[in-house]
Amino acid sequence: MRIDVFTLFPEVFEPYLNLSILARARERGLLDVHLYNIRDWTTDKHRTVDDEPYGGGGGMVMKPEPIFAAVEDVLGRPPRAPVILMTPQGRPFTQEVAWQLSRLPRIALIAGRYEGLDERVREHLVTDELSIGDYVLTGGELPALVVIDAVTRLLPGVLGDPDAPLKDSFSQGLLEHPHYTRPAVFRGWSVPEVLRSGDHARIARWRREQSLRRTWERRPDLLARAPLTPEDRAYLATLGWRERSKPASSASDAEAPESSTN
Ligand code: ADE
């Protein structure tokens, strides 16, 4: 998969992209990231990328010309791949969106800075907008890295265990079960007996129940959309869950619609 990133700070990306799983994916040609500095497409001697907002008010706005020039130079006019703007106003970036993007041969990410971007970039260049959560960062660089990371680990061949992404939290609509490794007893805290029993059917049932319990306790909103078997429903009922119900104390609200900010 090829990912073209347009940013004013390409140097932010390299250290992270050169580590661990992402570095190996790049070495093996599974991920091809190209970083472009938007400033390289300015035409004035000060290499200006921002200007004051029409209508006044504080802050600066990123000018449209260098962004259009950069993206069209690299991707053609019109661009030959989805052009995704990282912004807190975008649709929520979820594991489902990561799966969808991972099936594309190529995407472009724009990491904005300053107070915002000239609206014409949004209207006439960008094809999708993504937010990584309801908070505001100083720029789209970290969000772009989040997208690259989440998408890359789903690309075929990137993770050693090809089934690993299917077991992740969210991939089955539930949070993952807890994990343990040696020692069997640490500071008096034991690994649950069932995990040492060697009884694979029992272990699978325990993990499924832990996953259901965690999701119910921490993210009951996910249960409303998760594919549940009759056994899952019966187990959840023992915890006090009923279709469309909430646990006694939970930060999440099962009924609230997905929201995005400003
Ligand atoms: N840029 C600044 N904050 C952001 C966020 N939460 N998601 C995506 N892009 C952003």
Let me know if 115 is a catalytic residue: yes
- Per DSSP, 172 falls in state T
pTM of the entire structure?
A: 0.91
- Per DSSP, 122 falls in state H
Residue 109 structural domain: 2-152
Q: Does 8 reside within a domain?
A: yes
Let me know if 187 is a catalytic residue: no
Q: What is the CA angle 82-88-92, rounded to 5?
A: 65
Which of 86, 141, 259 to mutate for ligand 1's pocket (most ligand atoms within 8 Å of CB)?
86
Instruction: Kindly give the distance from the C-alpha atom of residue 115 to the centroid of ligand 1, in angstroms, as a whole number.
Output: 12
Catalytic residue among 153, 213, 219, 220: 153
Collapsed DSSP state (helix, strand, coil) of residue 63: coil
pLDDT (0 to 100) of residue 244: 74
Q: Does 208 reside within a domain?
A: no
Quick: pLDDT tens for 87-127: 999 999 999 999 999 999 999 999 998 678 999 999 999 99
Nearest to 39 by CA among 76, 65, 61: 65
Number of domains in the chain: 1
Q: Does 22 reside within a domain?
A: yes
> What CATH number should be reported for the domain holding residue 63?
3.40.1280.10
- Which CA distances in Å does 245 have to 74, 235, 237, 241? 50, 15, 10, 6
Q: Does 113 reside within a domain?
A: yes
Ligand 1-lining residues (CB < 6 angstroms): 86-88, 131-133, 135-137, 140, 143
- Which CA distances in Å does 29 have to 15, 24, 32, 34, 195? 18, 9, 6, 13, 38
pLDDT confidence bin for 258, thresholds 50/70/90: very low
Rg of the chain taking only CA atoms, in angstroms: 23
